[in-house]
Amino acid sequence: MPEYESVIGLETHIQLNTRSKIFCGCKADSWEDDPNVNICPICAGLPGVLPTLNKSVVEKAVLLALAVQADNILPISYLARKNYFYPDLPKGYQISQYAEPLARGGRLIIPSADGEDRVVNIEKLHIEEDAGKTVHQNGKRLIDFNRCGVPLVEMVTAPDIRSADDAAAYLIQLRRLLRWLGISEADMERGQLRCDANVSIRILGEDSLNTKTEIKNINSIENVRAAIKTEVKRQIQTVEAGQTIEAWTLGWDEDTETLRKMRSKETEADYRYFREPDLLPIRIDEEWLLEIKSSLPELPLARQKRFTLDYGLPDYDAAILTEERSLSSYFEATVKLSAGDPKTISNWVMNDVLRLIKEKKISAGGLRLIPKYLAEIIEIVESGMITRGTGKELLVNVEDKGKTPLELVELEGLAQVSDEETLKSMAMTIVDQNPKQVATYKAGKATILGWFVGQLMRATKGRADAKIVQSIFQELLDNDGDLGS
Amino acid sequence: MTDEITKEIFDYLVDLGALEIGEQEGEYLRSELNGQLRAIHELEGIAIDDDIRTTSHGIPYSRVIRAPLREDRIEPCKESDEILAQAADVFERYIVVPDIPSEELE
Amino acid sequence: MSEELCDLSATEISRRVKNGEVTAEEVLDSTLQRIRLVEGRRPSTNPYSPEGDDRNKVHAYISLTEKRARLQARAIDDAVKAGEDPGPLAGVTLAVKDIFCVHGTPTTAGSKILENFISPYSATSVQRLESAGAITVGKVNLDEFTFGSSNESSAFLPPVGNPWDPSRVPGGSSGGSAAAVAAGEAVLSLGTDTAGSIRQPAAFCGVVGIKPTYGRVSRYGLIAFASSIDCPGPIARNVTDAAIALQIMAGSDPFDATAAALSVPDYFSTIEKGIKGMRIGISPDYHKLKFPDPKTGEMCEQSVDEEIAEALSRVLDHLTNAGAEIVENVAMPNTRYGVPAYFVISRVEAASNLHRYDGVKYGYRFDGEVSNLRELYRKTRAHGFGSQAKLRILMGMYVSAEQYEKGYYQRALKIRTLIRNDFVNAFNPEGPYQLDCLLSATTPTTAFKIGAIYGNSVSMQYADLLTVPANHAGIPGLSVPAGVDNAGLPIGIQFLGPDFSEANLLRIGRSYEKASADEPWRRLQPKVLHA
Ligand SMILES: [Zn+2]
């Protein structure tokens, strides 16, 4: 059997997170709202209504085009009508873009563990309106228009992806980028990022494009991976059995983890595209483009790389810290406010701050533990004023109570007990009160030393340096409870 | 004169338009369409210079008359119930339609 | 018949209402009284055959909104009593073409498919006119979805009769509008013009109609036919009234991206200023008309009716006397392509615009058994649309369907540019003609008999031969009455001007109106008023 490679192109639909819909003033986000509440004459397709284009939709789409290094952001692009009958499409046409999309060309880089980054070329990017939802319930077909007119960006890749894993990695990168840019929540489960995959196979080494199948509406990254793997396997089996691949449209059934052929529509799709006469062309002049460009942040991969160079972080750390824009900015702000070692700060952020963020379900930018406070905590831990353990608790306390670290140290007397005389007298008391344990130690069970340390740590609420405490006890017990003077 | 829009083409158009047209009405409509097409074909003989543009509208939308794009503001609509009241079949705020024959999985 | 309140001009009515001489409610009552007198039976979607005095009545209104109108009238009268400004159209009765959405009223588009639709919102034009004090009396008949030039394609029959001879058509598609205004059933009407649908019925009914520049008036709430050319505009009994209405309707609208962001000039600061030194052109291409024989496709040539041509030359005399300079032989070579280009552009857009009528969200839904959604669509649309709508859908499908489309639409759009270039050249201040406006007959004939052309879609479309070029070009056109023919039927002429030159057109129209004020036909009244 020859070796095959898969040829995959992804068509993604990205819900932009604008406040209002693309062509009307209705609220765009209807998550958990009742059906048909966020509708108006315009998005419900009433007779006589007209669309008006939301400026923010263009800006967010252009931002994405810039972020994927689009070769051509068209100075004039057009909205077009895609005509077809479907009950979730109240006008009987979708306002989309066709021959003149917002942007053409571009690329998304997928970093890979083997160090060989893959480049996925973007063919085009355009804006369009979302359709409503159809639901099956009690044997009825029910229509909800809330989602009608929610802004979408359609981004289509070239057939550059060679494995199901790379397809998943592409989506992970895309999701990271969208959230980074702040243009979409990109939650696949909520349909904010949707994916269709075009899949074909060929014998490794050939560069022909064979008949492809289209897998529609896959709703999670894991499902994308599974669906593509299943389809590639099916295609190889089909070809090996001497049969030909037909250009089917397939649906992924999540429950049974199988692909199923979708019945073709009654009429072969003839969308009769033409320019939307109700809207003027979209003009993106130099001035506007510059304005949008100026709001383009440093992108995740660039920042990741810079963190390794500027701060000497391991690539692993840099990747985690730049997973999300707010976290990466948080880290960097802390570094700038602190005299400490970036790697130490990275450890704090990756462990303690990240845990806090996950627990509280907020972003780094929303923490009351602002970078300044984290820098202070790290500093007083490093200086020995408080123990590492106290530092970790303090961090949570700052977040919960909204007070500064130094206030809390003062208020709760958290400063480390570093006065050796105090520690010694406390240790003596413990030795005096526990003759049984002293006898055990004398009998040669040296491990009980830890128990003595623990007692003192408990007495100081952990504010003592365990190493010092241990040496005090050792001396005391070895010298028969008599500290040499 | 042969009909440009044959019966077969006509049936295809009827399908594309989600219509249903009886024999008699169909014959009338088809002959009208062919009459209109004869007029339309007059356009094919016109010489059009390369510099003639296609425009979305007759008037040019120069910078001075172009309306600005809409700002991203929510303007809630109070008439959603009135809109829904126009639908022939509504169930728990959903619009109800008969079953859809296409796109079922096999 | 003596002059009633409903026969007064908008200017006069609002003056009297404002100073308390009459109440808005009295104006409304006078209008309703006239409606009772001339309307005849209310048009409906029931099977129709002419009976009784059907052919002697106007049948302009599909629905009356009397309750709503009375509330409006009382609000105006209250405002007057409270010393508040009731607006420039205080108490002026308005007939709204039933292609505009008016909140809380049946809005049918003259189609069975929208027979039971109650609009949950109002069109911008309607809302502006009502805010200015106009009282919406009802919704007037039209060709189904404006698809026609005679009003006969409406699903609501009896068809509208021309008040000057009710056995004849009022023109279309704003036939109900023009007829209602002519018969005093409203002082003003709101119409739409996609190929001549304001100007042609205005001409047939002896009233004034203006098709503004595309983008001058918001299309929001106007049920779309051909979105790239549809234009709302007023119909009135004199030029000044048309100017008042347009003044209120015009201007940018946050709900219409194609409404021009251009301030509206004060039409009244110039309307009485005369036309001394203006250059007014006439073109042989608007006199000798070429069109294909509907049966054979052979090109025929025909001139505008002789009586209309004679009326036009009397107009020229008046204009010359008023100081205008007449420029003859203006070349408008692409005029004849207006109709075929329109056959393509309007059909592609119309077919798409009619997609939304599917029985799901509003309007008619087929109520028999259906096995699936597709069947519901087909049956609903088959029963809901009339034959003219179906024709437009099918042609739209043909010229845009992937496998038949031979660049028809793109080619037609280029021809639209050619047609526009004719006008650009004529109006170019540095060009060969340097016109302020082009003058022509509005229609090649006067009103034809009901049933004479209906059913022949090609011949019907060529009734728009003289009006449709302005729609392609997007430029404004003003049709004004210019006499009657031997049968006593009104003759209309139109002034076409450059983009956004409405102020000039109104000024020219007004000037002609004054110059011809003494002509005997000015004192004639529509036949229905003598019945
Ligand atoms: Zn809406």
Q: Quick one: pLDDT at residue A193?
A: 97
User: How is A257-310 classified by DSSP, letter by letter?
Assistant: TEEEEBPPPSS------EE-TTSPPEE--HHHHHHHHHTPPPPHHHHHHHHHHH
Answer yes or no: is pLDDT of B104 > 80: no
Minimal C-alpha gap between C421 and chain A (Å): 20
Interstrand relation of C288-292 and C188-192 (parallel, antiparallel or unpaired): unpaired
**In which element (H, E) is residue A52 found?**
none
Q: Which chain A residues have a beta carbon less than 8 Å from that of B69?
A: 52-55, 58
**Per-residue tokens: A258:** 């199988």
Which of A210-224, A441-455, C174-188, C492-506 has the weakest average pLDDT? A441-455
pLDDT in tens, C70-124: 999 999 999 999 999 999 999 999 999 999 999 999 999 999 999 999 999 999 9
Are C220 and A48 a contacting pair at CB < 8 A?
A: yes
Report the phi/psi class of residue A241: left, alpha or beta, with left for phi > 0 and alpha for psi in -120 to 50: alpha
Share of chain A above pLDDT 90, in %: 69
Distance between C255 CA and the closest CA of chain A, angstroms: 6
Mean pLDDT (10-residue bins), chain C, 531 residues = 87 97 98 97 95 95 98 98 97 98 97 98 98 98 97 97 98 97 98 98 98 98 98 98 98 98 97 98 94 79 94 98 98 96 97 98 96 94 97 96 84 96 98 98 96 88 93 98 98 98 98 97 95 65
- What is the second-level CATH architecture of the domain A420-478? Orthogonal Bundle (1.10)
Question: Of the candidates C292, C358, C387, which has its C-beta nearest B29's C-beta?
Answer: C387
pLDDT(A484) > 80:
no
Check whether the bond before C218 is cis (ω within 30° of 0). no
As a whole number of angstroms, the distance between CA A321 and CA A305 comes to 11
Predicted local confidence at residue A262, as pLDDT: 81
Chain A CB contacts of B104 under 8 Å are 262-263
C84-107 residues labelled b (16+ CB within 10 A) or e (exposed): eebbbbbbbbbbbbbbbbbbebbb
Catalytic residue selected from C97, C139, C211, C527: C97
Q: Which residues of A touch B99 (CB under 8 A)?
A: 141
Prediction ipTM score: 0.97
pLDDT at B11: 96
Q: In the β-sheet with B94-97, what is the strand arrangement from edge to edge?
A: A133-137, A140-144, B94-97, B90-91
Chain region(s) in chain A for CATH 1.10.10.410:
420-478
Separation between Cα atoms, residue C276 and residue C278, nearest integer Å? 6
- What is the structure's pLDDT at A264? 60
* A48 CB within 8 Å of a chain B CB: no
* SS3 (DSSP) at C79: helix
**Higher per-residue pLDDT: C131 or A419:** C131
Give the integer Cα–Cα distance in Å for C179 and C169: 9
pTM, two decimal places = 0.92
For CA atoms A375, A379, A385, A386, give the dihedral sign: positive
Confidence of residue A480 (pLDDT cuts 50, 70, 90): low
Per DSSP, what are the bridge partners of residue A81? A95, A274
Q: Distance (Å) from the C-alpha of residue A56 to the closest C-alpha of chain B? A: 6
Q: For C245-255, write each residue's pLDDT tens digit.
A: 999 999 999 99
CATH of the domain at C17: 3.90.1300.10
Choose the mutation target among A50, A88, A143, A279 for the interface with C, i.e. most C CBs under 10 Å.
A50
Q: In the prediction, which pLDDT does A448 show?
A: 86
Task: Report the alpha-carbon distance of residue A90 to residue A40 in Å, rounded.
Answer: 12
Residues sharing a CB contact under 8 Å with residue A18, sequence separation 6 or more, in sequence order: A28, A54, A56, A57, A60, A151, B72
pLDDT of residue A482 exceeding 70: no
Q: What is the mean pLDDT of residues A375-390?
A: 85
- Identify the pLDDT of residue A410: 76
Strand order in the sheet with A274-275: A93-96, A80-83, A274-275
Chain A residues with CB under 8 Å of C111 CB are: none
When scoring A37, A57, A133, A286 by the number of chain B Cβ atoms within 10 A, the one with the most, hence best to mutate, is: A37
pLDDT digits (tens, 9 = 90+) for B53-101: 888 899 999 999 999 999 999 999 999 999 999 999 999 999 999 987 6
Residues with CB under 5 A from ligand 1 (ion): A 24, 26, 40, 42-43
User: Using CA atoms, how far apart are residues C408 and C416, in angstroms rounded to an integer?
Assistant: 12
pLDDT at A266: 40
